[in-house]
Structure 1
Amino acid sequence: MRKPIIAIAGLGCENSTFTPSRTKVPAFHPKRGDEILNLDRNKFLKKGTELGDAAEWIGTLTGHAMPGGRVTAEAFEELAGEIVSRLADITKSSKLDGLWYDIHGAMFVDGREDAEAELLRRIRKVIGPDVVVSASMDLHGNVSRELAHQTDLITCYRTAPHVDVLETRERACKNLVNILNQQSGGQKPTLPIKAWIPLPILLPGEQTSTRDEPASHIYAAVPEVEAMDGVIDSAIWVGYAWGDERRNRAIVMATGTEETAVCRGAEKIAQLFWQSHADFKFVAPTGTFDECFDAAVASKVRPYYISDSGDNPTAGGSGDVTWTLHQILNRKEVKKGLEGPKIIYASIPGPEPVQTAIDAGVGATVTVTAGAEVDNLHAGPIELTGRVHSIRHGDIHAQTEVVLQVGNVFVILTKLRKPYHLERDFKQLDLDARNGADIVIVKIGYLEPELYDMSKDWMLSLTPGGVDQDLERLGHRLIRRPMWPFDKKFETPPNLKARIIPLSHEPLTGPDE
């Protein structure tokens, strides 16, 4: 029996609709052909591995962008067009059996709705309805009924923070190969039954970390359902809280060979989720910035971390909101200069201030204006005068980084925005964020594992920005209502019965409820 031929395609991005920034083609770092197979995140497909040798894998185009503002229509058309064109070329010479649809699930495109479903519809027009499609996603993605309909297998991460990225991607491919290997004598594989349940819940990741309850016990049910006879996979999508689109909400799905089993499994998880919907809390103590800073100053442990959550670039923030830095520099403790607590702040992007610091060199004193080039909805640019502490070139995200010491505050400036999640991010800039600072303020939501380990204590500051944790002040207009936590009372309880998604990929009819 010949090996199945499987193409790889997809675009992954998490886009806030509440930030003025836009995501363009270069941000996706597109990979093509064999480049895709050689990526570390796809190492389970390398030659000599079980999965790599189980099929003929053909890369078309994949792109994964750092979260940001909406994708421009031009960027989407360019990348989607190339994916479709490459798939068309493959189908001219090969009989394609499967497609691994490598996406995130929270991509928002100017002038388009349900972008991942739209891209897959275009792909289906080229590869046809019989090619088996397996999607891997982030649990902060969105699964519309249409996306569930256009895929045959679908799965997502089971941890937040995401420590099972490789495992999830491999699972999507393994499930796909297993289905395709059912073929014999030219017969089509038996497609999985798909049970889909939408829930009227839309919560930020900072309230749904699988480290904590109630998410920990809800997600613990996922492998239990997957282990049931007749079930291939089960999954929970929390949804993406900073996207204002009708599809945005929590989703539970189960796929398998037995309708009764997949329905029972999906309904079990959905009921657990809804029973706990009012129990979700932030993963750490929260407060206004002043409340968090007061707590940090008063604390006897060091370093004390503060999450500047409203402009978190890894959730879709523009990264250049200056509101928090303005607050820091106006604090009386900071105005004491070197007598105050030593503070690290990460970060503010801006090519001009970075170049000014480079031209002056380490040790020089410079005055620069930084930030609010993209998102000036909450505060304007900030003027900084300080000593150039360090300069670093060649970062994959920032390109160039400099540290400006403004009194007792070490401000990281970047040419392009960058998330600061790792200890080495600071060490490379001659900053000790584990033992050498009193307060570390990072643009992030929940602390990523290394930061969590480095902190002796921390708080999540409810700061303004394109990914404001206070969802109710953002102004969602397009999401379905009622929706928790926007609505606290429901006249009727939600329908937690499984909806069976048709196996045919013909256009859906009827309400997507």
Structure 2
Amino acid sequence: MVERPAIAIAGLACETSIFTPSRTLAPAFHAKRGHEIIEKYPFIRKDASLGKTADWHGALIGHALPGGIVTRACFEELAGEIIDRLRAIVSSTTIHGLWYDIHGAMCVEGIDDSEAELLHRIRQVIGHDVVVSASMDLHGNVSRELVHQTDLITCYRTAPHIDVHETKERACRNLVELLTKSPVGKRAGICPVLPIKVWIPIPVLLPGEQTSTQIEPAKHIFAAVPGAESKRGVIDAAIWVGYPWADEPRNRAVVVVTGWDEDTVKNEAERLSQVFWDAHEDFDFVGPTGSFDECVDAAMESKKHPFFISDSGDNPTAGGSGDMTWGLIRLLARSEFKQSFGPTVIYASVPGAKAVRTCVDAGIGATVTVTAGAEVDNIHSGPLTMTGRVHAIKRGDRDARIEVVLQVGSVFTILTALRKPYHHEQDFIDLDLKPREADIVIVKIGYLEPELHNMAADWRLALSPGGVDQDLKRLGHTRIHRPMYPFDDFNETPSLSASIIPASYEPLLGPER
């Protein structure tokens, strides 16, 4: 055991849809290096408990806004820098552990299971004696190979995700405790004996909008995790819902339990898997749904305001391109919103760098004609030309760079230089918009983030087309394991037996099931 372990930090995170034509490039990851990583996470700073018990060495982490497939050149650039930085750390310090900070649903051109591939490359530098602890989004995908390459692995337990930092801290705490308080000896004179890892794939693939932990059945499924983790001999228990808008063999729900007692670890993993499967037909959307037009009709008929509508098919926080004009075209075509005195509607958002520049050059109060959107994703609709009054301008946003609001009739449309999600009330207030006083607020999102949900007097989930279409069957998956619910019917319970996954230094035999 090590009294004060040295732990490196690395990872890339991006939730990517293969069903959108957009591509994710290196700048989107906003890479942090060295001490920037330590500053990002307060729980590993020198004055924090984990900072006092371990020495943390940042290599590189990158967290990109969800979007289209990561280009191979981008991956090789960032992965190459991770490897170079880890080599430099290893050359000057004996590394005992690695915190692998990832999302789990990153698709890269020409690579299946990119997180496992990156970790494989990392292992070539740090070796197999270094203990790896991974933290993930529950919408990530966990292949057998990824579990093989890691020693500890965990994920969020809430959706919407309100336990992000808690999960990352848990992954780090489990790692430090394994390195400093392991109950059994040492391996290779460096690492403790490693825990048992059990992995169970579940043939279910559903969108997050049907698996929110705020409602049943996901509520009781994820509520069972702490009970499993509390069992003697268990270190961590985790359930992944998976990510449906990629098309790789690893896409599905998964349970992983790690610990010291083989029987307990296997029993708890199988119990959690059975709890999940027993409820697989009970999953439903987190809120009332309808077509885009039906949702607008419901908002117009409602006396509850603000009435929120999720334009879900182009949700940029699930992997949509964010630049589709499909919903906005339908909105502006409606007679109710043609005049400035009509019902106040906020629409967030459509990118269009040229349109934004025109608005900025004209200034607030000017009337302009601009064309925006569909520069990347024009599958369902093309660019939209609008004439309206410039209502607001804001510079310096981390994602959007520059934002403007164009009032067309009674619709206040947010245009951005680069795509951006709108999850917080302040996002609107900064643009001289008052969402609580609006009649209708339409946001490109899936389930409403907590702050939006708290603002909404009522809401609907619009089942609109796009790269993250909620109708999975019409997207055309060809590479996922079959049978898979809801693509296929099951006449009997599938095998949910636990597979013990060997440590990374041991061979991984047999095909993945």
Task: Give the corresponding residue for 1:330.
Answer: 333
One-letter code aligned to 2:53: A
Map 1:116-135 → 2, pairs under 5 A:
116-135=115-134
Task: Give the corresponding residue for 2:422.
Answer: 420
Task: Give the corresponding residue for 2:477.
Answer: 476
- Structure 2, unaligned stretches of length 5 or more? none
> Matches of 2:371 and 2:341 in 1, distance apart?
25
> Matches of 1:502 and 1:341 in 2, distance apart?
61
One-letter code aligned to 2:80: G
State which drifts further: 337-346 or 299-308.
337-346
Task: Quote how far apart the aligned CAs of 1:94 are.
Answer: 1.8
> Matches of 2:300 and 2:504 in 1, distance apart?
61
> Matches of 2:381 and 2:402 in 1, distance apart?
24
> Matches of 2:130 and 2:395 in 1, distance apart?
45
Verify the 8 A CA contact 2:96 2:191 in the aligned structure 1: no
> Is 2:196 aligned against 1:193?
yes
Task: Give the corresponding residue for 1:241.
Answer: 244
Query: Residue deviations 1:221-254, cap 9 Å, x none?
Result: 0000000010000000000010111110000011
> Matches of 1:149 and 1:484 in 2, distance apart?
26
> Matches of 2:217 and 2:191 in 1, distance apart?
41
> Matches of 1:473 and 1:363 in 2, distance apart?
44
Task: Quote how far apart the aligned CAs of 1:332 are.
Answer: 2.5
Task: Give the corresponding residue for 1:461.
Answer: 462
> Matches of 1:78 and 1:505 in 2, distance apart?
27
Verify the 8 A CA contact 1:139 1:239 in the aligned structure 2: yes
**Quick one: which of 411, 414, 425 aligns to 2:413?**
411
> Matches of 2:397 and 2:148 in 1, distance apart?
40
One-letter code aligned to 2:9: I
> Is 2:352 aligned against 1:350?
yes
**RMSD in angstroms over aligned alpha carbons?**
1.1
Map 1:277-316 → 2, pairs under 5 A:
277-316=280-319
Verify the 8 A CA contact 1:307 1:445 in the aligned structure 2: yes
Map 1:252-401 → 2, pairs under 5 A:
252-335=255-338, 337-401=339-403
Task: Give the corresponding residue for 1:438.
Answer: 439
Identity over the aligned pairs, expressed in percent? 66
> Matches of 1:203 and 1:510 in 2, distance apart?
27
In structure 1, the residue corresponding to 2:386 is in which secondary structure? strand
Query: Residue deviations 1:408-455, cap 9 Å, x none?
Result: 000000000000000000000000001x21000000000001100000
> Matches of 1:187 and 1:297 in 2, distance apart?
66
> Matches of 1:74 and 1:486 in 2, distance apart?
34
Verify the 8 A CA contact 1:182 1:190 in the aligned structure 2: no
Task: Quote how far apart the aligned CAs of 1:187 are.
Answer: 5.5
Query: Residue deviations 1:156-211, cap 9 Å, x none?
Result: 00000000001000000000000101367845302110110000000000000000
One-letter code aligned to 2:472: L
Task: Quote how far apart the aligned CAs of 1:61 are.
Answer: 0.5
Task: Quote how far apart the aligned CAs of 1:492 are.
Answer: 4.5
In structure 2, the residue corresponding to 1:83 is in which secondary structure? helix
In structure 1, the residue corresponding to 2:435 is in which secondary structure? coil
Verify the 8 A CA contact 1:308 1:324 in the aligned structure 2: yes
Instruction: Give aligned pairs, total.
Output: 508
Query: Residue deviations 1:465-489, cap 9 Å, x none?
Result: 10011111111111111111111x2
Task: Quote how far apart the aligned CAs of 1:504 are.
Answer: 4.2
Verify the 8 A CA contact 2:195 2:259 in the aligned structure 1: yes
Normalising by structure 2, report the TM-score: 0.98
Task: Give the corresponding residue for 2:493.
Answer: 493
Task: Quote how far apart the aligned CAs of 1:493 are.
Answer: 2.5
Query: Residue deviations 1:362-386, cap 9 Å, x none?
Result: 0000000010000000100001100
> Matches of 2:293 and 2:57 in 1, distance apart?
53
One-letter code aligned to 2:381: A
Verify the 8 A CA contact 2:356 2:417 in the aligned structure 1: yes
Normalising by structure 1, report the TM-score: 0.98
One-letter code aligned to 1:182: K
Verify the 8 A CA contact 2:352 2:417 in the aligned structure 1: yes
> Matches of 1:299 and 1:505 in 2, distance apart?
61
Task: Quote how far apart the aligned CAs of 1:331 are.
Answer: 1.4
> Matches of 2:225 and 2:200 in 1, distance apart?
14
One-letter code aligned to 1:417: R
One-letter code aligned to 2:262: E
- Structure 1, unaligned stretches of length 5 or more? none
Task: Quote how far apart the aligned CAs of 1:505 are.
Answer: 2.9
In structure 2, the residue corresponding to 1:8 is in which secondary structure? strand
> Matches of 1:272 and 1:343 in 2, distance apart?
42
Task: Give the corresponding residue for 2:512.
Answer: 512
In structure 1, the residue corresponding to 2:340 is in which secondary structure? helix
Verify the 8 A CA contact 1:198 1:249 in the aligned structure 2: yes
> Matches of 2:328 and 2:474 in 1, distance apart?
21
One-letter code aligned to 1:93: S
Task: Quote how far apart the aligned CAs of 1:2 are.
Answer: 4.2
Verify the 8 A CA contact 1:143 1:251 in the aligned structure 2: yes
